[in-house]
Structure 1
Amino acid sequence: MSAEIDDEVLQKSFRSAMGNVAAAVSVVTTFGDGEPMGSTVSAFASLSMEPPMLLVSLDNRSSLLAALRIESVVGVNVLAAHQDQIALRFARSGPDKFADIPWRPEDGAPALVDRHAWVAMAVTQLIEAGDHTLVLGRVEAADTYAHAPLTYWQRAFGTHKTF
C-alpha cells in the first residue's frame, strides 16, 4: 500500500515532470460571432489516422472553449521557431490578439499566414477532464511548411535540432 501523497506536493511534482516534456506550440483558432478567436496551447495530439482525428486540450475558463460546439471548425496553427512572441500574445486573455498578425479564413477557421503546420478540424466531441476539456475533432484539412517548429521545454521556447 502506498503512502498518502499530499495534493500540493503531487501537483508541484507533476508540473515539474510535464515541464521536462518538450511540446510543439500551436495557436488554436475559431470564429466566435464572426470574429477570429485564438489561444496558445501545447497540449494537442494526433488521435487517429483512420479516420484522421486530432485532440486539443483547452482550459475550462477559455473563451475559445466557450465558443465551441459540435461541428464547430477549429484551426490548429502549429507555430514556427521564430513565432515565440505570437505564442505569448495568444497565451494572454483579452481582445485584439490578431491585431497586426497576418491571417486569413482557411478551411472554415482563422489561419495564421506564417506557420509550421496547419490542421483544420470539425469538433466531434467535448469531454470534460479535470480543469480542461478535451476537444476531439475530425480532420478536414492539413498542410506543412518549410519552417522549423516552435517547441516549449522547461518553461522556455526553442526548436528541434536534428542530429
Structure 2
Amino acid sequence: MPAFTPDDFRATLGQFATGVTIVTAIDAHGHKIGLTANSFNSVSLSPPLVLWSLSKQSSSMPGLLAAPAYAINVLAGDQRLLAERFARKGIDRFDGVAWRPGLSGAPLIDGAVASFECHPRSTHDEGDHLIFVGEVTHCQRRVGAVPLLFHGGRFFTDLPL
C-alpha cells in the first residue's frame, strides 16, 4: 500500500503544469460531446499519435467509445471560462459556444491554440481511467497564440522566465 493518500497523490500530480484541452466528438445519435481534459500527450510522430485519458465514471464515456472521430482542442489563455464550463456536469456545455465541424465532423472550438482531429486507434484500461490513443488525421495551430495552463489547481496564461 502507498504511504500517501489519494488527496496527497492528486496534489502532487497538480505540481506538473499542463496545457488545458477540450475533447469533443459527435456521438452515434448526432449529439455533441465535450469535456475538459489535461491528460493530453503526444505518443508518436510516425504515425502521428496522441493520447488522453478519461475517468471510467464519466457520463461521456459511452458516446466517446462509439464516436468515429474526436478532436482535442488546446485552449488559449483567454478561454478559461470554456475550460470551467466543459468541466461542469448537468448543463449543455455547447450552449453559446462558438465552434465549427472539423474535417472529421468533430467540433473544433473557435479560438483554440491548436486542434488535433483523431481517428480512434486504441483504448487501454488502466486503474480508474481509460486511455484513448488517437491517430491524428488533421491538425492546425494559431501561431503566436498564448495557451491556457493549469498548475496547482489554478489556471495561468503565462509563466515568466
Q: TM-score, normalised by structure 2?
A: 0.91
Q: Is the 8 A contact 2:26 2:67 kept in 1?
A: no
User: Equivalents in 2 of 1:127, 1:57: separation in Å?
Assistant: 9
What is the aligned-residue RMSD (CA, Å)? 1.6
Structure 2 counterpart SS, 1:143: strand
Structure 2 counterpart SS, 1:161: coil
Count of residue pairs brought into register by the alignment = 158
Q: CA deviation at 1:71?
A: 7.1
Counterpart AA for 1:112:
I
Q: Encode CA deviations 1:98-146: one digit per residue, 9 max, x unaligned.
A: 1111111112211111111100101111111111100011100111114
User: Equivalents in 2 of 1:70, 1:36: separation in Å?
Assistant: 13
Q: CA deviation at 1:61?
A: 1.8
Which blocks of at least 5 consecutive residues in structure 2 are unaligned?
Answer: none
Q: Does 1:129 align with 2:126?
A: yes
1:67 matched residue in structure 2? 63
Q: CA deviation at 1:97?
A: 0.5
1:110 matched residue in structure 2? 107
Counterpart AA for 1:80:
A
User: Equivalents in 2 of 1:47, 1:19: separation in Å?
Assistant: 21
Counterpart AA for 2:78:
H
2:75 matched residue in structure 1? 79
Q: Is the 8 A contact 2:33 2:64 kept in 1?
A: no
Counterpart AA for 1:11:
P
Counterpart AA for 1:79:
L
2:96 matched residue in structure 1? 100
Aligned partner of 1:49 among 45, 48, 59: 45
Q: Is the 8 A contact 1:71 1:122 kept in 2?
A: no
Counterpart AA for 2:141:
T
Identity of counterpart residues, as a percentage?
Answer: 31
Which blocks of at least 5 consecutive residues in structure 1 are unaligned?
Answer: none
Q: Is the 8 A contact 2:25 2:67 kept in 1?
A: no
Structure 1 counterpart SS, 2:76: coil
Q: Larger strand proportion, structure 1 or 2?
A: 1
Q: Is the 8 A contact 1:47 1:54 kept in 2?
A: yes
Counterpart AA for 2:37:
V
1:29 matched residue in structure 2? 24
User: Equivalents in 1 of 2:61, 2:39: separation in Å?
Assistant: 14
Q: TM-score, normalised by structure 1?
A: 0.90
